[in-house]
A and B are shown apart, each in its own frame.
Chain A
Amino acid sequence: MSWLSDEAISRLQAASVLPDVSGTRYRLVERIGSGGMGAVYLAEDSILARRVALKVLDLPDAPGELAARLLREAHILARLEHPGIVPVHDAGTLADGRVFYAMKFVEGRRLDRVAEEMTSLPDRLRIFQRICDAVAFAHARGVLHRDLKPENIMVGPFGEVLVMDWGVAKILESRENDPEARNPKPLASPAKVFPVQPAKTAHGTVLGTPGYMAPEQARGDVESLDARADIFSLGALLRFLLDPRPQQGATTLGKGLDKGANALAMASSSFWGILFVPRPLAAIARKAMSEDREGRYTSTSELALDIARYLDGLPVSAYPENIFRKVARLAGRYRVAIALVLTYLVVRAMLFFFFRR
């Protein structure tokens, strides 16, 4: 047995990590990202001569748990045809046994990397509205994302906004009896198609990201999760967009704070950082991130509507107004008309005094 040099070991590691795309229509270009389940590669579709992104498991998955999860993600994406959700093109198993799916290659930047550069608050809110649109569409199709965070939002060069990484998405109970929802027909693929098992997350399993998880999600109350868990995450996303600086106190689960307390601590402490944002927006974020889910918005559309009303200078449901606040809001909304009337009155007054002399 010959000795393997460090260089040979590095080469073997690199060669072993790369997915074996032989026998498929894809040619690897480069690795562009990695996640909990696997890696994402930029690839060339040799038949359609276009670039795609391949999401591939890093390792063969003997129990099939991760493979089923990845394919489930592909199937969920396939049924969520929406401009704000990345479309899936193909799925299957590579020659080396690894499960993959091909999706549109999104040329853009992650929201967490681009948010600080966006100086205009209305621009940031419009991005948030598009995120809400995509999530509302998914909810209407009975799908919870369960991991909404800036890292999972891509912003394209022409303002496109795409919600990515549906790896821990959940099909709501009301759709569980829908055979298409649970176990959709496998996609045609040049590679072998892996059989899909309906995935159920066990009670007590925590999937999500601290700081963006609803308290009930952080506690692992899997069965009781509904759209309001995503609404909490949207509230955290709004909070981030209002104050995109790195959050203080972000921590990982199990390090000092218990699961529920972690999410709550993040939710409450974060508002210290947004003292200078408009109060109606802070109130919207606070309502969306209410500890008690009964206090949150009942639907994503309702949340999006409040944002739209704020942008239009209208009152928002999360922020009750007294007379002074109402006057201030109306003054802001009609500031141009008010300025014109005031200018007119000043000029009239000046002319009156001038000709009177």
Chain B
Amino acid sequence: MADDTSIGAGSGKFPATRWSAVLAARSGDPAERSRALEAIVAAYWKPVYKYIRIRWGKSNEDAKDLTQELFVRVIEKGTLDGFNPAKARLRTFLRVCVDHLVANDAKSAKRLKRGGEAVHLSLDFPAAEAELAHANVSALAGASPETIEDFLEKEFIRSLFALAVEHLRQLCEQRGKQVHFRLFQIYDLEERGAERPGYAELAVKFKIAATDVTNHLAFARREFRRIALEKLRQMTASDQEFRREARALLGVEPE
């Protein structure tokens, strides 16, 4: 579609270390602003979609429309101009926006049906719906606000980690380190319960030395961590906020 907006980074380029999408989203430079909003949408659209499905019990069609509308508003109508990083986290701000949006669902739906929104975001909703199948939706129905908040936070971590994994895959491909990524995938990403292949087993499988398995995994994990933290930094406005969020992201005990 000509009106489709490309979502998610595909270039494999990494933003400068200190670049903050939260701050750049209010930049006067349209290119900078567009890049920032793209990063924010890429990190948040899945958690938002799942939140609408779980918290508000909306059908997948309604949830798609509401997710579309939220991010169209963010991109086209400057919703983020009202966001103050000093007062709240971006995740909380977006959640409040979603709640307001859903509360006015009827009006929004009419407007969408009238074709009021020209821009349409290209988001992979079937994938998000498939991921939702893994969540214990029935347990979350009627859950406390704290549980829902935890769910949203966990989904944000999942979304951010997934983006980081995808970037790592691209990086490894560019550098001819596919084996590094495959080892990382097998050892750290695949679901195997308590059983994980040993380094010796992986060495035999990939026809490399066991020490290479160690080194390759160390490389992949180091890069993953770097990319994940860079992406998190984009979603924060200050170093203090970044450190607080990074501790939550990595499961480190709070200061």
Contact = CB atoms under 8 A, between A and B. Distances in A.
Interface of A: 1-17, 20, 22, 34, 36, 39, 58-60, 62-63, 65, 95-97
Contacts of A36: 255
A62 B189 contact: no
A62 B241 CA distance: 13
Contacts of B32: none
B161 A12 contact: yes
Contact of B250 (A4, A5, A16, A20): A16
Q: Which bracket fits the contact residues of B?
A: 35 or more
Contact of A22 (B131, B215, B229, B249): B215
Contacts of B243: 59
B92 to A, nearest CB: 21
B192 to A, nearest CB: 8
Contacts of B191: 5, 7-8
Contacts of B239: 62-63, 65
16 contacts: A1-B162, A1-B166, A2-B165, A3-B158, A4-B158, A7-B191, A8-B189, A8-B190, A13-B249, A14-B251, A16-B221, A20-B222, A58-B250, A59-B229, A59-B243, A59-B247
A13 B251 contact: yes
Contacts of B189: 2, 4, 8, 11-12
Contact of A60 (B165, B193, B229): B229
B225 interface: yes
B6 interface: no
Interface string B243-255: 1001101111101
B157 A96 contact: no
Interface of chain B, helix or strand or loop or mixed?
helix
B124 to A, nearest CB: 8
B226 A96 contact: yes
B253 A34 contact: yes
Contact of A4 (B165, B221, B225, B252): B165
B205 interface: no
Given A3-B162, A4-B189, A9 B157 contact: yes
B247 A95 contact: no
B240 to A, nearest CB: 10
A13 B250 contact: yes
Given A16-B221, A59-B243, A1 B165 contact: yes
Interface in B186-222: 188-191, 193, 214-215, 218, 221-222
Contacts of B251: 10, 13-14, 17
Contacts of A10: 251
A16 B131 CA distance: 24
Nearest to B223: A96
A20 B218 contact: yes
B18 to A, nearest CB: 6
The 7 closest A-B pairs by CB, nearest first: A13-B251, A16-B225, A22-B218, A15-B221, A3-B131, A5-B191, A8-B189
A65 B222 CA distance: 22
Contacts of B246: 58-59
B247 A58 contact: yes
Contacts of A22: 214-215, 218
Interface in B152-190: 154, 157-158, 161-163, 165-166, 188-190
Contacts of B218: 20, 22, 95
